Chain A
């Protein structure tokens, strides 16, 4: 025992922080989800959550899934061009441009897109000014579309950053070998480069999904009417009703959803490592 003591002492501050700042509050939230107003065990919060918010939960899943898919598609396109692009100038410009949204906070993204996507916002003003549509036909995007646009706009640079790094580090010879045999650039991207960078894409998307599940500001700024995402409902339960029980239940559902994504990812990597 004495032998392990210095090691345990060294670990203890980090362990204490994890226990008191993470595990204890998490346990509190989880148990809180299963407690009724009197503190007894109950599924009441979940029943209420299901009755009030099942549509919002579905809405959240659809929005996050759609955003993740669009982010993946855009990231593959951008990272692919950064890796395989033949015009050095275009590659340099793209490399410089794509990272900008990384440095803009979600709340600012919400703000920018709110003024841009509104019915009388900048986007429609431009369309009207250029004669593409008449003022009568303008449509605001401040609903699910706005949230998806904001998520994709904010998360694409992050996923692209990781993906472009992974693509840059693959053996360049594997690309040239495919070119030597006559593969087009699109085939090289999809059949040679992307499969080798796929684990990184999966990690980036998993992290991205967790981020999107936890963003409150963007849906609040862009579309807080019904249906909306889980985070808005949680904030509403606490701020309007002081109802921590249902908020905890919603939080637990969020955690289960992100946990499922992480589990799918982990199972995939373990299967690949086993091979």
Chain B
């Protein structure tokens, strides 16, 4: 009896709220497309290219075969410094798949924005919430199978300086407890980004791969060529924590 009563109230409120949403959503909010450009040594990343001469700040040469990372928990800061948290969304940027380079953020309130903040990785609430799908599907290869949890950022490649088998570089950064590798970077936008109601704006985010190997802990590939969570992954996360991204240009259409 009681449950029927609740069901009626729920149905009633659903109809009101859904009506409100369907009316207000399109007119009131805008969209923001983030275009990610992966860059190494100031050049656009080329995967599996042995002719490139990438080097880290220690002077070690390397090439890259795999580069993928999650971004989530996106927050915008308006020109008054007010924080606007966008609805939960998770994106996997995969350097091998250009269809992943342009995540679309919906339900962005119209406004003038001066900074954006991105979580590099997946928050713990979602990380430990059971089987997920879409870009969080463990079949994406960004999930540890023996130690469940997402790999937040993955770089694999080759360096002659690496002492690993076949001179491999394997940097899998992830893990929350006890070594936390979740990092959130706030990126100032060079020019104010204006998002109007029903409009779509675009911001270009440059991802600086060099940031993994310098900063707080300069990485020498002969000494560190493998991280799989744990304390070594924290060294890499600490490096890129404040320098993985810059915003380059913003356009509106």
- Are A and B associated in one complex? no
List residues of chain B with CB under 8 Å of any chain A CB: none
Q: Which residues of A contact B (CB under 8 A)?
A: none
